[in-house]
Amino acid sequence: MSIHPLEFRLISNPNQQEIITSEKDWHNTIILGDCSKVLQKIPSNIVDLIVTSPPYADSRKKTYGGINPDDYVQWFLPISKQMYRVLKADGTLIINIKEKVVNGERHNYVIKLILAMQQQGWLWTEEYIWHKKNSYPGKWPNRFRDAWERCLQFNKQKKFKMYQERVMVPMGDWAKTRLKNLSETDQTRDNSKVESGFGKNVSNWLGRTMVYPTNVLHLATECSNKSHSATFPKSLPAWFIQLFTEPGDTVFDPFLGSGTTAMVAKELGRCYIGIEIKEEYYQGALINIEKLYLIVKIKVSLGLIKHKKLII
């Protein structure tokens, strides 16, 4: 069995009713369309993890999505309801979000969203903090730089899959650089991670005492990609994918953007499903993911990777 070609399923018009019946059809697929519509066609209970960064509320109309802060909760609830349906019972939902400042005040649409999602049946298991180490500089009369975002964890039930050992970090003084190392590795070692989690990093750290991390993640924002409104660095979905899924599991992102979640899922040996509404971002995601397949193909042809490792 060799690397199968990409099978990207393009549903530009969701009403065309392309019938997809089996669960398998959705694996490793990204779809162009409005996720509130496309989600209705995805079978129930097929996703192990949802990692997503929905478009932030913004009163400016032209931006991506452009949902008004006051309408945000009502806009999001139908989508979260569908996410609840497609997620497996022991799966996890991670939402990366941060409220905007509106009229000098933090808007309350995020905390209202938490309450509304609890009404839908979601359990608000935990709130992780993403501490952005190098956020954009800036100073305002009333506030400092905003250097953190919420990563809200929701579950359908109290028992869910979690593999804590995978994200253990070196102890003590190395704690400072714990996730920085992890982040750097993500950027350099593409597919070695398919084999064994974070690959050689783990072996480097063996012999040193490993400890469990906390619910505060120190990750640098990626400064490289300026073209899109890139939401999170690859190390952010990587951390949650490692923590909440096994290789072969399915990771879903209804707001795929430039494809970060799908790329990381692929790199870590997970299946991915992604939806993106803007064709510009969708095309970028296609290219980014296709690159991954090409890189793997080249490495295999050079004998750098053993064949059997690639079959997903």
Partner DNA sequence: GTTCCGCATGAATCGATAG
Partner DNA sequence: ACTATCGATTCATGCGGAA
Show the site string, 81-100: x = touches DNA by CB under 7 A, - = not.
Answer: ---------------x---x
Q: Which amino acid is at 280?
A: E
CA contacts within 13 A on the Cβ side of 48: 20
Binding mask 93-122 for a second copy (x = CB under 8 A): ----------xxxx-x--xx-xx--x----
Q: Does 135 bind a second copy (CB under 8 A)?
A: yes
Q: Is 266 exposed, middle or buried (0-12, 13-18, 19+ CB in 10 A)?
A: buried
Which positions from 111 to 150 touch DNA by CB under 7 A, shown as an x/- string?
A: ----------------------xx-xxxxxxxx-xx----
Pick what 221 binds: DNA, a second copy, none; C-beta below 5 to 8 Å, kind-dependent. DNA
What does the alpha-carbon distance between residue 243 and residue 21 come to, in Å, rounded to a whole number? 30
Choosing from 141, 172, 207, 303, the residue that interacts with a second copy (CB under 8 A) is 141
- Contact yes or no for 254/42 (Cβ under 8 A): no
Question: Which of DNA, a second copy, none has residue 111 at its interface (CB below 5 to 8 Å by kind)?
Answer: a second copy
The reply to whether 208 sits near a second copy by the rule CB under 8 A is no
Please tell me the number of Cα atoms within 13 Å of 126 on its side-chain side: 12
CB 220 within 8 A of CB 185: no
Cβ proximity to a second copy, 160 vs 198, nearer residue: 160
CA 201 – CA 185 distance, rounded (Å): 8
DSSP-based three-state secondary structure for 25 = helix
Residue 220 in contact with DNA, rule: CB under 7 A = yes
Residue closer to DNA (CB basis): 172 or 303: 172
Joined together, the tokens standing for residue 141 give: 């009369």
Least gap, CB of 113 to DNA (angstroms): 13
Residues 6-45 that bind DNA (CB under 7 A): none
Q: How many residues bind a second copy (CB under 8 A)?
A: 39
- Closest separation between CB of residue 146 and a second copy, Å? 6
**Crossing angle (nearest 10°) for helices 235-244 and 260-267:** 50
- Token digits of residue 49: 């993890």
Minimum CB distance to a second copy smaller for 29 or for 92: 92
Place of tokens 């369309």: 33
**Residue placing its CB nearer to DNA in the complex, 14 or 55:** 55
- What lies within 8 Å, CB to CB, of 29 at 6+ separation is 7, 8, 9, 272, 273, 274
Rg (CA), the chain: 19
Cβ-proximal residues to 33 (8 Å cutoff; 6+ apart), any chain: 11, 12, 13, 14, 275, 277
- Choose among 270, 268, 291: nearest CA to 194: 268
Residues 145 to 204: which contact a second copy by CB under 8 A?
A: 145-148, 158-160, 162, 164
Binding site for a second copy (CB under 8 A): 103-106, 108, 111-112, 114-115, 118, 123-127, 129, 131, 135, 137, 139, 141-148, 158-160, 162, 164, 211-216
Binding site for DNA (CB under 7 A): 53-56, 59-62, 96, 100-101, 104, 133-134, 136-143, 145-146, 171-172, 175, 180, 183, 211-212, 220-224, 226, 229-232, 255, 257
